[in-house]
A and B are shown apart, each in its own frame.
Chain A
Amino acid sequence: MQWMLNNKFKMKNHFSLPNSGHNFDAKGSKLGMWLFLFTELLLFGGLFLTYLVYRNLYHEAFLQSSFHLNKWAGFTNTIVLLTSSMTVAMSIVALKKGAKNKAIWLLALTIIAAGIFMVIKYFEWSVKFEHGLFPGMDHYMSMEPGEKIYFFLYFFMTGLHGLHVIIGAVFIAVVIKKIANSKVNKDRVSLHENAGLYWHLVDLVWIYLFPLFYLIR
C-alpha cells in the first residue's frame, strides 16, 4: 500500500492553507447536518402533501379508517419519543460540562426509548396485519378506495418514520462508541450535536404523524 504511506508523508509536509477542507470545522459539519435535515423535511413533505390531497378527497373514509388505530399506543409512543429527545439534549449538555459517563448513560436511555417505540409500533402493526389491513391482503383489497389510500399512507409514512428511528438509534450508538474512546469529547462535540439534531427531527416528524393519523377528525 505504497500510496497510503505516500499519503501520510504528504499530510505532514505540505504547505497547508488556513482555510483547508481537512481542518476540523464544527460549524461546517453542523451546517451540513442542517442542510441534510432540510432534505429530510422535504422528503416527508412530499408525503404530507399527498396526505393533504387525499384527506380532502376522501375525508369520510380517512375519518372512519382512523378509528382502527389505537390512540393510546400512539400517545404512549409520543411520550416515549418526547422523553428521548429530552435525554439526547441532556446528554449534550452533560458532555459539554465534561460528564462523559453521564452523557453515555443518557444516550443509552435514548436508544432504549427508541427500542420501546419500535416494540409498540411492532404490536400496532401486528394487529393491523391480523385484520388484513396491509396493502395486498384480502380485507385490504375489499375496502373503499379512500380507506385503501389511508392504510397505504399509514404503512408507508410510519414505516419510513420507523426506518428513521432505527437509523437515528444506530447514529446515537456510533456516538456512544466515540464518546467512550474520547473521539467525541467536550471540545469536539459536533457529531454528538448532529446526532441530537437528527433525533429531534425523527421526533418532530412523529409529532405530525400522530395527530394526522390518530387524532384529527
Chain B
Amino acid sequence: MSTATFNNQEFSEQENSLNYLNAQKGVFSWLFTLDHKRIALLYLYSIISFFLVGASLGILMRLELLNPGRDLIGPQTYNEVFTLHGVIMIFLFIIPSIPAVFGNFMLPLMLGTDDVAFPKLNLLSWYLYILGAFFALGTLVFGNGPADTGWTFYAPYSVKTGTNVSMAVMAAFILGFSSILTGLNFIVTIHRLRTPGMSFNKMPLFAWGLYATSWIQVLATPVIGITLLMIFAERVLGVGLFDPSMGGDPILYQHLFWIYSHPAVYIMALPAMGIVSEIIPTFSQRTIFGYKAIAYSSMAIAIIGYFVWGHHMFTSGMSGPAAIIFSILTFLVAIPTAIKVFNWVATLYKGSINIQPPLLFALAFIFNFMIGGLTGLMNGALAADIHVHDTYFVVGHFHYVMFGGTGFAFFGAMHYWFPKIYGKNFNRKIANISFWIFFIGFQVLYFPMLVVGIMGMPRRYYDYLPEFHIPNVISTVGSWILASGLLLMIGNLVYAYFRGSKAVSNPWHGITLEWQTSSPPPVHNFNKMPELNKKGPYHFSNAMDA
C-alpha cells in the first residue's frame, strides 16, 4: 500500500513539470507518436517547409516577370515552375494547412477531450502526406522534368505531354487520401468526443468550421481521386478517355476536376473563417455576434459550394441555361460569406479591442477576403468572366482569397496559439512590425495583378507585352517586401521557441477550453475536468467580472 501512495505522489510531481513536448524524448517518440498534438507539429514543420519551397518558386516567377522577354528561365521551365508552385501550394500547403496543423492540435482541446477519435489513422494520414509530398517533389528528379500542365492537369494536354504528369497526379491522389482520412477523423471526433454538456450549438466556431470542411473533404475528394487515376491510366495504357482525337471528351474531365476542386477552395477557406471567429471575440472580449449565423453559414457555404463548379468553365463550352444556373449559385455563396463578415465586424463594435498580432492577421483576413470575394463575383458574372478569364485578374483574385485569406489566417493562428503550443511568448513588437511588412508586401504584390489582368495580360506566360511592364515591376518589388516580412515573422517565432519567456496558460484571456489547460498542454491535455461555459463558448461575462 505504501509503495502505491509513494508512486502516486511521484506521479503528481512529475505531472506538473511534464508536458507533451518533454514527456518523451527521441526521434521515434515523434515518428510513432499517436498524440494529436505531436502529429500536428509534424504537420506544421513539414507544411512550413513545403510552403517555403512553394514561396521560393513564386518569387522566382516574379523575378522572371520583372522585365518582358526571357531573363532567367525559358518557357518550358516557367511552365514547370508555375505547375509545381500550384501543386505544392494547393495540395501540400493550403488544403492541409489549417485543418491538419491547428485542427489536429486544437480540436480535441477545444472539445475538452484528449485525442481525436482515431489516433492511428491520424498518424497514417501524416505518413500519406509525406508519401504524397515525396511523389510531388520527386517529379523534379524522376522522369522528363516536373509536370508543365498547370495544377489543374487539364486533358488532353496532361495525357500527351512528355513531362512527368503521372507522378504528379499520383501525388495529388495520395494527398487526397490523407485529406479524406483527416476529415473522417474530425467528423467522428466532433460527433463522439465532445465534453459532456457541449451540444453542437455550444461548440467553438473553429470546430464548426472544421466540421463543414471535413464533410467537403470526405465527400468531394474521392471524385478527384478517381479522375486523376483515370488520367494516370490513360497515360499508362495510351487510351484517349479525355482526348477528343480518340473520341474522348475533355470537357468531361473539366467537370470531374472541378466537382472536387471548387469545393476544395472551401476546404481552404472554411477553417480560416473558423480561426477568425476565434480570434475576434478573444481580442474584443465580447460575445460573438450571431453565433448560430456564423456556424450555420459554414454549413451553407459547404453545401452551396458543392454546386458551383461550372463557373470555372464558362468559356470552355457550356449551354446557356447551365451557365446561368452556375452563375446564380455562385452569387448565392456570397450570402453566407457576407453574413460572416458582418457578424465579425458587429462583434468588434463596442468591444474592448486589444490590438495584438493575431487580431491584426484576422482583420487583414477580412480586408483581403473582401477584395478576393468581390473580385470572385466578377469572375462569377457571365459577361465579366469572358473578359477576365485566364488573365492575371484571376491570379490576383485567387491569391487574395487563398493567400490573403487562408494564408493570413494560418499565420494569425500561428501567433494566437503559439504560447499555448510551445509555452513561450514571442516578441509582440517584432510580430507587429513583421505583420505590417507582410501585409504591405502582399498588397503591393497582388493588387497590380488585378489591374494588369483587367488591362488584358494573360496568365501562365513567362513573357508579356511592354505595356504591362510597370505593374509587373511593382508586383515583383512587392514579392521582395512580402518575403522579408515572412522571414522576419518566422525568425521571430523561431527565436521565441528557443529564447522566449515562459508563457502563462491564458495570455490573451480567451475562454474556449484550450485556455483552461497549461501551456504547453500535458500529454493527456487536461489534468482535471475542463469547465464548460454553460452560456456558450464566447460568453465573456464571467471573465469581465474577474
Contact = CB atoms under 8 A, between A and B. Distances in A.
Determine if chain A interacts with chain B: yes
A18 B241 contact: no
A47 interface: yes
Contact of B222 (A2, A43, A145, A146): A43
Interface string A24-48: 0101110110011011111111110
Contacts of A7: 24
A136 B523 CA distance: 56
B115 A149 contact: no
B249 interface: yes
Contact of B226 (A46, A58, A135, A149): A46
A9 B187 CA distance: 31
Contacts of B24: 3, 6-7
A13 B4 CA distance: 11
B113 A17 contact: yes
Interface stretch (A49-57, A76-84, A90-98): A49-57
B193 A21 contact: yes
Interface string A163-182: 00000000000000000000
Contacts of B220: 42
Interface in B18-33: 23-26, 28-29
Contact of B194 (A14, A19, A40): A19
A36 B115 CA distance: 20
Interface string B502-546: 000000000000000000001111111100000000000000000
B112 interface: yes
A41 B226 CA distance: 11
Given A3-B26, A35-B184, A39-B218, A145 B116 contact: no
B256 A22 contact: no
Nearest to A40: B222
Contact of B117 (A28, A36, A42, A135): A28
B118 A15 contact: no
Contacts of A156: 230, 233
A206 to B, nearest CB: 17
Nearest to B234: A152
A49 B522 CA distance: 49
A148 B117 contact: no
Contacts of A13: 7-8, 11
Contact of B188 (A32, A44, A45, A146): A32
Contact of B112 (A19, A44, A148): A19
Contacts of B121: 32
Interface in B202-246: 218-223, 225-227, 230, 233, 237-241, 246
B351 interface: no
B297 interface: no
B241 A50 contact: yes
A108 B375 CA distance: 60
Nearest to B244: A145
Given A6-B23, A146-B247, A135 B238 contact: yes
B119 interface: yes
Interface string B271-306: 000000000000000000000000000000000000
A6 B15 CA distance: 13
Contacts of A2: 25-26
A38 B218 contact: yes
A129 to B, nearest CB: 13
B114 A22 contact: yes
The bracket for how many chain A residues form the interface is 35 or more
A43 B225 contact: yes
A15 B218 contact: no
A83 B188 CA distance: 32
B233 to A, nearest CB: 6
Given A17-B195, A21-B108, A156-B230, A45 B222 contact: yes
Given A14-B523, A39-B218, A53-B249, A22 B119 contact: yes
A152 B523 contact: no
Contacts, number: 153
Q: In the complex, which range does the number of interface residues on chain B fall in?
A: 35 or more
Contacts of A135: 237-239
A49 to B, nearest CB: 7
Contacts of B29: 3
A149 B188 contact: no
A135 B234 CA distance: 9
A156 B112 CA distance: 45
B491 interface: no
B89 interface: no
Nearest to A7: B24
Interface in A80-132: none
A146 to B, nearest CB: 6
Interface string B95-126: 00000000000001001111111110100000
Nearest to B223: A46
A21 B252 CA distance: 42
B526 A17 contact: yes
B35 to A, nearest CB: 10
A149 B248 contact: yes
A156 B234 CA distance: 10
Given A19-B113, A135-B239, A45 B223 contact: yes
B168 interface: no
A46 B527 contact: no
A168 B239 CA distance: 29
Nearest to A11: B524
A17 to B, nearest CB: 5
Contacts of A21: 36, 108, 113-117, 119, 189, 193
26 contacts: A3-B24, A3-B28, A6-B23, A14-B527, A16-B114, A16-B524, A17-B529, A19-B192, A19-B194, A20-B193, A25-B117, A27-B192, A31-B187, A32-B184, A39-B184, A42-B219, A42-B220, A42-B222, A43-B222, A45-B223, A47-B230, A50-B230, A50-B241, A53-B252, A145-B247, A148-B239
Given A10-B523, A46-B230, A135-B238, 14 more contacts: A7-B24, A19-B192, A19-B193, A21-B114, A21-B115, A28-B192, A31-B192, A50-B230, A135-B237, A136-B239, A145-B248, A148-B240, A152-B237, A156-B230
Q: Which 7 A-B pairs have the closest CB atoms?
A: A145-B247, A21-B115, A46-B226, A42-B222, A3-B24, A135-B237, A43-B222
Interface of A: 1-3, 6-7, 10, 13-22, 25, 27-29, 31-32, 35-36, 38-47, 49-50, 53-54, 57-58, 135-136, 144-146, 148-149, 152, 156
